[in-house]
A = this chain, B = another copy of it.
Amino acid sequence: MIDSAEPQSSLRRALGLLRLVGAAEASGIRLKDLAEQAGCSQPTAHRALQDLAAEGFVEQVGKRYRLALDFFVLAARAGHADGLRDLAKPVLLRLSATLTDTIFLLVRNGYEAVCLDRIEGPFPIRSFTGDIGGKVPLGLGQGSLAILAHLPEPEREAVIRFNVPRLLDRGFLDEAALRVELEKARAQGWVNLNTGLIPGMAGLGVPVFDAQGRAVAALSVGTLADRLRPERLPGVVAILKAEAASLGAMLNPFDTALRHPSRSLSAVA
């Protein structure tokens, strides 16, 4: 699949290759296929990969390229995104200890929600975002929906327009159903969809507002549906909302608005 908007600089090209390498799973990807998918010649891809490898971003195992562990390390050593993860760590730990369920921290990034951190509960949870670093379109999943619901109107509409087709692709809500859920979410201030990934599992998400009152993140829990029945649910909601508020209060005034809309799109395509 060749992108229509060809990057003109060698750097853009190389970063595109890096992305493709990342998209290939653990088994890695061959030079030939990389070149083809990136729409560049094989020698070009080869040279770029050599440089990428020399800098420790990719590694070559056999004839396949994959992301190098050093890359992972590099990101880990780097100052975390905006410190949100560090700020949120105690919050997540508290929630995890209190609720003994799996806790997620999502942040908004353009048209997506990204799982910034997650603390595992006693049972394995499969969420739409998957593990740390996973992405979902805004609107899919409880935390993601919570963020979307509390975005300022025009932005929300822009995201909806953009995401509805993608949500449909993933067999999720159509626009009407989505709007109903958003309305409900906005009214009650939290999201509790039963539309889990696995029957019997359920989740609950609340938005986190920054100093400007923007919904920049969400906290959510994923657990057995049994554990979110009417007698326990209100308590969990209260606890989550309290922690979300305390996290919001710690946020420094930084803009986390739409940033790379075009890229976000193609990254999902």
Alpha-carbon distance A83/B27, docked complex (angstroms): 9
A238 / chain B contacts, CB cutoff of 8 Å: none
Chain B CB within 8 A of A4 CB: no
A86 / chain B contacts, CB cutoff of 8 Å: 131
A23 / chain B contacts, CB cutoff of 8 Å: 78
Q: Which of B12, B85, B96, B107 contacts A55 (CB 8 A)?
A: B12
Closest to A107 in B: B69
In chain A between 49 and 74, which residues have their CB closer than 8 angstroms to a CB of chain B? 51-52, 54-57, 59, 61, 66-74
Known contacts being A15-B55, A52-B15, is A73 close to B259, with CB within 8 Å? no
- The reply to whether B26 and A124 form a contact with Cβ atoms under 8 Å apart is no
Alpha-carbon distance A97/B267, docked complex (angstroms): 36
What size tier do the contact residues of chain A reach?
Answer: 35 or more
- The reply to whether B67 and A78 form a contact with Cβ atoms under 8 Å apart is yes
- The reply to whether A81 and B93 form a contact with Cβ atoms under 8 Å apart is no
Most chain B beta-carbon contacts within 10 A, residue among A11, A55, A82: A11
A93 / chain B contacts, CB cutoff of 8 Å: 120, 122-124
- The reply to whether A11 and B14 form a contact with Cβ atoms under 8 Å apart is yes
Alpha-carbon distance A109/B73, docked complex (angstroms): 11
- The reply to whether B25 and A79 form a contact with Cβ atoms under 8 Å apart is yes
Pairs of residues from A and B, 8 with the lowest C-beta to C-beta distance, nearest first: A76-B133, A75-B75, A67-B78, A26-B79, A72-B78, A22-B78, A25-B79, A15-B55
| 5 residue pairs from A and B, CB less than 8 Å apart | A9-B47, A15-B52, A54-B260, A61-B254, A69-B109
